[in-house]
């Protein structure tokens, strides 16, 4: 058997915030991997994912990789390439690397940009993804809201750039999750109001973290500034489904 020449890159989801929602497999790999990276904003080195890791592996050495909160593709690309090179240097030395992210690594995650860039630089990069529980899965469980039933559809979309996607999707999907609602919440609220969906929507904030919040009456949030970690679940068939259950006993 030939000796290992390059390391493996692990993309690890650590869930929405509650350390108890980290998978057993994720903890096993984190304990066995000496080099762990987490994303942070270029404005600070704080990482919620790092805090979750330390609950399970207190002695872990976690380094932050800065990713800018920017819409400038050139700025973003420079950061992706810089961070990918940092990871590839360690992999080339034969060491494994874990990159931890809130939620799931393949769902609106910084890790997906790192993965794509690393594979562009080295198509032979050895990668293993450890899935994590998403914020909207945890939110649906918290509220006892089924995300899908029977032949229903579910659409997950970002509200970071407004409500255009919500407007195009609302009449087609049975259930909708809108993530990243903080920047454009007023616009999203107005769209829900115009579509008559305010009574079918539930708002969530900071799921699994101190100060977590669930608000069933979204009307109380009109003109309110919401948290960065916020989302909305819209269940278009909620009232129909409730009536059916009552009629069926």
* Structural domain boundaries enclosing 156: 135-247
pTM above 0.85, yes or no: yes
At 187, which helix (H) or strand (E)? helix 185-194
230 and 148 within one domain: yes
pLDDT of residue 244: 40
Question: Mean pLDDT across the stretch 67-71?
Answer: 82
Q: 135 and 204 in contact (C-beta within 8 Å)?
A: yes
CATH number of the CATH domain containing 35: 3.40.1010.10
Q: What are phi and psi of 221, to 5 degrees?
A: -100, 5
Output DSSP code: residue 103: B
Cβ contacts of 194 within 8 Å, gap of 6 or more: none
**Low-confidence winner among 21-25, 176-180, 229-233, 245-249 (lowest mean pLDDT):** 245-249
78 with 140, same domain: the answer is no
DSSP 94: T
Which residues on adjacent β-strands are paired with residue 39?
65
In this structure, are strands 62-67 and 35-41 parallel, antiparallel, or unpaired?
Answer: parallel
What pLDDT is stored for residue 4 in this prediction? 60
Q: What is the C-alpha to C-alpha distance for residues 176 and 174, in angstroms, rounded to an integer?
A: 7
> What's the domain count of the chain?
2
CA distance linking residue 166 with residue 202, whole number of Å:
15
Q: Tell me if 207 sits within 8 A of 139, measured CB to CB.
A: yes
- 148 and 226 fall within a common domain: yes
Q: Using 50, 70 and 90 to split pLDDT, how confident is the model at 2? A: very low
- The count of other CB atoms within 10 Å of the CB of residue 28 is 12
Q: What per-residue confidence (pLDDT) applies to 241?
A: 41
Average pLDDT of 82-89?
96
The Cα–Cα gap between 77 and 83 comes to 10
Q: Is residue 198 part of a domain?
A: yes
pLDDT, one tens digit per residue, over 119-146 is: 999 999 999 999 999 999 999 999 999 9
pLDDT score at 224: 85
CB atoms within 10 A of CB 10: 23
Q: Indicate if 16 and 108 belong to the same structural domain.
A: yes
What is the rounded distance in angstroms from the CA atom of residue 200 to the CA atom of residue 179? 16
pLDDT band at 226 (very low <50, low <70, confident <90, very high): confident
We report the CATH number of the domain holding residue 181 as: 3.30.950.10
Question: Which of 82, 104, 130 is where one domain is finished?
Answer: 130
Coil, strand or helix at 15: strand
- In the three-class reduction of DSSP (H, G, I as helix; E, B as strand; rest coil), residue 213 is classed as strand
Question: pLDDT of 25-44, one tens digit each?
Answer: 999 999 999 899 998 876 66
């Amino acid at each position: 058997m030939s000796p290992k020449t390059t390391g493996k890159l692990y993309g690890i989801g650590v869930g929405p915030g509650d350390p108890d929602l980290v998978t057993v497999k994720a903890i096993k790999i984190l304990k066995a991997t000496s080099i762990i990276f987490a994303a942070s904003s270029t404005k600070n080195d704080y990482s919620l994912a790092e805090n979750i890791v330390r609950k399970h592996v207190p002695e872990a050495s976690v380094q932050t990789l800065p990713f800018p909160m920017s819409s400038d593709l050139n700025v973003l690309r420079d950061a992706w390439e810089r961070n990918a090179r940092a990871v590839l240097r360690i992999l080339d030395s034969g060491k494994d690397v874990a990159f931890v992210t809130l939620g799931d690594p393949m769902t609106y995650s910084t890790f997906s940009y790192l993965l794509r860039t690393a594979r562009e630089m080295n198509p032979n990069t050895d990668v293993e993804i450890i899935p994590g529980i998403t914020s909207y899965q945890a939110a649906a469980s918290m509220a006892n809201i089924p995300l899908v039933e029977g032949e229903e559809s579910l659409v997950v979309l970002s509200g970071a750039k407004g409500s255009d996607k919500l407007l195009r999707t609302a009449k087609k999907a049975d259930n909708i999750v809108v993530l990243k609602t903080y920047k454009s919440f007023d616009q999203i609220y107005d769209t829900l109001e115009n579509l008559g969906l305010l009574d079918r929507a539930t708002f969530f904030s900071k799921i699994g973290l101190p100060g977590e919040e669930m608000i069933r009456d979204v009307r109380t949030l009109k003109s309110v500034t919401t948290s960065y970690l916020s989302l909305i679940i819209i269940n278009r068939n909620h009232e129909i489904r409730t009536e059916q259950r009552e009629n069926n006993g």
